[in-house]
Every structure is written in structure tokens, then in C-alpha cells.
Amino acid sequence: MSETSLQDQVDDATLDFTLGDSEGAIAKLRAIIDTHPDAFPAWHALTEVYFSEADYDAALEAAETAHKLEPEDVHINTSLSRIWVERGDKEKAEHYGAQARMLGWKDELKSPPEKDDI
């Protein structure tokens, strides 16, 4: 299966979620993960669906898997911070929040803003 079609499947599941079908989205994302266990976009999308359903245990499990796949991703670090806030662990929430900020700063340094011609 090509990477594009994999992303299309994740997008399809995300659309289901957006339209209010969380169960359908979860089923589609789980099916993707069953055949592509290293599919970071599917794990991250699953994290967000579970988080929106206030299933913080399942969200954490999905987020930790996504983080193992791409620890330098700013979005999964942000998701982990939000999950730990909801679970009441301020220290872990702050850790992942700080990681997300540092990764964001790294991205900014890689592509500095264009200079203004005055």
C-alpha cells in the first residue's frame, strides 16, 4: 500500500470523526494500525479521537506508541502534554509541553523569517 493511500485512509477516518462518528473513526484507524503498526499519522489521529472522547487511558496508549515512532514530532508532544493535564500529572504535562515548545523553536530556527526591506 502506498504512503498516499495510507494518508487517504487516515484522512477518511478523520472525516468520520469530524462528522461525529467517533466509533467509525476508531474502527478505521484500528484497521490501519493492524496492517501498518508503524503508521504514525494513524496513531496520532487515534490519540486525538480518544482524547476528544475523554478516554484518556486509550489516548495515552496511542500517544505513547506514536511518540516512540516519532519522538521529535511537536504535535504528539503537545498531545501528550494535554493528556497528562487531564490525568492530573502536572510534572509530565510540563515535560511534554516543554518538549513541544523546544521542537517548535527548532523548527523556527531551521527556517528563519524573511527579512523586511525597509
CATH number of 3-110: 1.25.40.10
Return the beta strands (E) in the chain as ranges. Answer: none
The answer to whether the predicted template modeling score (pTM) of the entire model surpasses 0.85 is no
Q: What is the pLDDT of residues 7-48, one digit of tens each?
A: 999 999 999 999 999 999 999 999 999 999 999 999 999 999
**Cα gap 68→23, rounded to integer Å:** 25
| Mean pLDDT taken over the chain | 92
Share of the chain above pLDDT 70, in %: 92
Q: Which long-range contacts (CB under 8 A, 24 or more apart) does 17-24 make?
A: 17/45, 17/48, 17/49, 17/52, 22/49, 22/52, 22/53
pLDDT, position 10:
97
The residue extents of the domains of the chain are 3-110
